[in-house]
Chain A
Amino acid sequence: MNSAITNKLNIFITLLVITAVQIGLSYADFLAPVGHIIAALLLAASETILVGLFFMGLKNDDRLLRTTALFPFVLFCIMNGALVLDVLIFMKH
């Protein structure tokens, strides 16, 4: 129980640090705009994974719940992937 609480505190501190890094990085001028977008999304995704695994308890949940949690993200990627393709192939011309 005790280790679980310190674990949660660690996650919490990591989340705070990631957020700080995210804000700081957005002011960095050594990244191209695309780099900024990718970095921000990666950091947001890592925050999501941390919250999902530890605060929402997916780490200890069974495969059913993990699949349920993952499925909408797959659909998210399909929908946005299709739109990005459409926008990049078609709207740019």
Chain B
Amino acid sequence: MEHTAVRVETEERLENVSFGMWLFISSEIMFFTPFFAMYIIMRNAHPELSHPHMLNVPIASVNTFILVISSLFMTNAVNASKSGDGVKTSNNLLLTALCGLAFLVLKAVEYSGEIKEDLLPSTNIFYSCYYTMTGFHGLHILIGVIVMGILAWRARRGDFTKTYNSPIEVCGLYWCLVEVVWFFLFPVLYLV
């Protein structure tokens, strides 16, 4: 692919990309749906295994705030890319990725605390749910962080212009999805 030529993206192409991404987001929501189904069954069958606030609420709360803050950076990045400001796009993407990394580090701290207390996925069905749901969510964060790293590098190189910025927009949609999934995971696992 040549990088010297200015890529132009028509309105139709942009619509295709965002429609495709929305479909993918829908299918991601369907991917998480059975996890919640499983959690509902588990909570009903074994109410004795869990009670509110039994997991590490402080870390999870900080993580929630981190994700909310990161979404602000993400929208800034999308706006900047639309006005063709590569450096600003790149900076905001890096800030978002940094938030994602902070989320993952805190998640690791949280996991290690539980593993030290011998609370493993195999301990009981509540911890099975907890590790699986947060684990797959964490995996999505990790993928997001990697993608944002690559996009930030490309933005700094000047790949994105006023006429070609759909990757940033798509990435923004994806990041919002990851955030929304966490909005549900956080209360159901940690708070109630």
Contacts and interface: CB of A to CB of B under 8 A. Distances in A.
Interface of A: 5, 8-9, 12, 15-16, 19, 22-23, 26-27, 33, 36-37, 40-41, 43-44, 47-48, 51-52, 55-56, 61, 64-65, 68-69, 71-73, 75-76, 79-80, 83-84, 87-88, 91
Contact of B183 (A8, A26, A44, A79): A44
Closest 3 CB pairs of A and B: A40-B187, A26-B191, A72-B29
Contacts, number: 109
Contacts of A88: 44
Q: On chain B, which size bracket covers the interface? A: 35 or more
Choose among A41, A55, A69, A88 the residue with the greatest number of B CB atoms under 10 Å from its CB: A55
A41 B187 contact: yes
A43 B180 CA distance: 12
A79 B37 contact: yes
Contact of A36 (B52, B173, B183): B52
A52 B29 CA distance: 13
Interface in B131-187: 172-173, 176, 179-180, 183-184, 186-187
